[in-house]
Amino acid sequence: LVLFAETRMGLQVLLDRTLDFLSLVGLKLNADKCFTVGIKGQPKQKCTVLEAQSFYVGSREIPSLKRTDEWKYLGINFTATGRVRCNPAEDIGPKLQRLTKAPLKPQQRMFALRTVLIPQLYHKLALGSVAIGVLRKTDKLIRYYVRRWLNLPLDVPIAFIHAPPKSGGLGIPSLRWVAPMLRLRRLSNIKWPHLTQNEVASSFLEAEKQRARDRLFAEQHELLSRPAIEKYWANKLYLSVDGSGLREAGHWGPQHGWVNQPTRLLTGKEYIDGIRLRINALPTKSRTTRGRHELERQCRAGCDAPETTNHIMQKCYRSHGRRVARHNCVVNRIKRGLEERGCAVIVEPSLQCESGLNKPDLVALRQNHFDVIDIQIVTDGHSMDDAHQRKINRYDRPDIRTELRRRFEAAGDIEFHSATLNWRGIWSGQSVKRLIAKGLLSKYDSHIISVQVMRGSLGCFKQFMYLSGFSRDWT
């Protein structure tokens, strides 16, 4: 409760009346928790001074504060000159250190940072006074600890840390943009007539709202809402070299559950390696020699190609066995799910057609209806929806339909589908939505398959690094 008066006598009268009212409802003031601030104007010097005056609650005197004394009101620190400039970096810094020392997995640390530590700052940032430079400094401190926990190189795009998980990022809020947005939203929700109809209070609110709005301009766009901020970071991520392969990550949300939840599906090391795989931060020759073009970049296995993550995951002969195992892992997961739904499943049937031998991965029979599913894990940098459609067109031909009807004596409809992902574990939006709409896949299975593809790609990289085979046969 805050009482204001223009004179000492007026404030004492307010105190007495407040004391009388509280006594009527069975309450009383605690003098030890009360204080006064006497501010006196000096017109000639154009300043104010603090004047110590005596006020009483009953028979007890209330202490009078000095100019340097601080007090807290609604979670915000004040002095006689106004709000105290808050420094969120000083607030969150010790907490980040304690979180680093705590015996937690990296995914648990990330979850605590995203859902506990950063939201603790929102109230002070929305109502307090904070400079843009301080917000940038706090973001930089948070990114330092995120890189430390996840063992990320310094040149990982900043947008990867701040972009939402549904867009392929880590989902760590950027206080530089979130704080002004929260303040603008808080001020815009003030509808009290005694404030909006008062000229002084109304002008102050409009000035503060305009100041917050000015802070939300980025590249000729206003980031006035959380979705706008998320879209801003997602676009910056997709424009980066390492983040371009995540461009289609936003087409299906459930596949990112392992990134933003403290799941037990992954060990701490697997989570760190999975994040590094996701943003193309594994230590390949092309990755570690950026900016130094004079250094050797050819594949250490002797392939006639630069040693990139894409080459290791999709083309290099060293990792061929792990690529096959990665593919088969997805096939077995989908097959098990189909069998649980009561389908009869045939794995890799050989179909001798006019166009040659065709071997789709799965043929599922349910109520005289046939579903042909072929699985593919493709490179990034190309449209996965186009790859999905090409795979369907590859099998949806008259000679294959004729052979299926002859081979399995099918009288019902035959539909063709593909399960298309890239080596980062990102689904083709059209592929996964079609499989789920047809009842061939569940949302949970789509999440598990994404994790399995990520694990399989890590297996490809580990096998590539452990083996020592070398070949110069490029023919």
Longest Cα separation, the chain: 105
pLDDT bracket for residue 9 (50, 70, 90): confident
Of the listed ranges 6-10, 234-238, 308-312, the least confidently predicted one is 6-10
Whether pLDDT at 16 is above 90: no
C-alpha span between 311 and 94 (Å, rounded): 42
Model confidence pLDDT, tens digit, residues 136-181:
999 999 999 999 999 999 999 999 999 999 999 999 999 999 999 9
Q: What per-residue confidence (pLDDT) applies to 470?
A: 62
Q: What per-residue confidence (pLDDT) applies to 195?
A: 66
Percent share of the chain, pLDDT over 90:
46
| Four-way CATH pick for 320-464: 2.120.10, 3.40.1000, 3.40.1350, 1.10.10 | 3.40.1350
Mean pLDDT (whole number) for 262-273: 88
Domain with CATH 3.40.1350 in the chain: 320-464
Identify the sign of the CA torsion 105, 106, 111, 114: positive
Percent share of the chain, pLDDT over 70:
98
Of the listed ranges 288-302, 344-358, 458-472, the least confidently predicted one is 458-472
Model confidence pLDDT, tens digit, residues 397-453:
888 888 888 887 777 788 999 999 999 999 999 999 999 999 999 999 999 999 999
Of the listed ranges 32-36, 192-196, 322-326, the least confidently predicted one is 192-196
Whether pLDDT at 208 is above 70: yes
Whether pLDDT at 454 is above 90: yes
Whether pLDDT at 196 is above 70: no
C-alpha span between 304 and 103 (Å, rounded): 45
Whether pLDDT at 301 is above 90: no
> b/e map of 421-433 (b: 16 or more CB within 10 Å)?
bbbbbbbbbbbbe
Model confidence pLDDT, tens digit, residues 334-389:
999 999 988 888 898 888 888 788 899 999 988 888 899 999 999 987 889 999 99
Model confidence pLDDT, tens digit, residues 307-348:
999 999 999 999 999 999 999 999 999 999 999 988 888 898
Q: What per-residue confidence (pLDDT) applies to 118?
A: 94
What is the three-class DSSP state of 14? Answer: helix
Q: What per-residue confidence (pLDDT) applies to 471?
A: 60
Q: What per-residue confidence (pLDDT) applies to 475?
A: 42
Of 205, 207, 208, 185, whose CA–CA distance to 195 is shortest? 205
Q: What per-residue confidence (pLDDT) applies to 164?
A: 94
C-alpha span between 445 and 450 (Å, rounded): 8
In 276-392, the DSSP E strands lie at: 344-347, 351-353, 356-358, 362-366, 369-378
Whether pLDDT at 472 is above 60: no
What is the three-class DSSP state of 266? Answer: coil
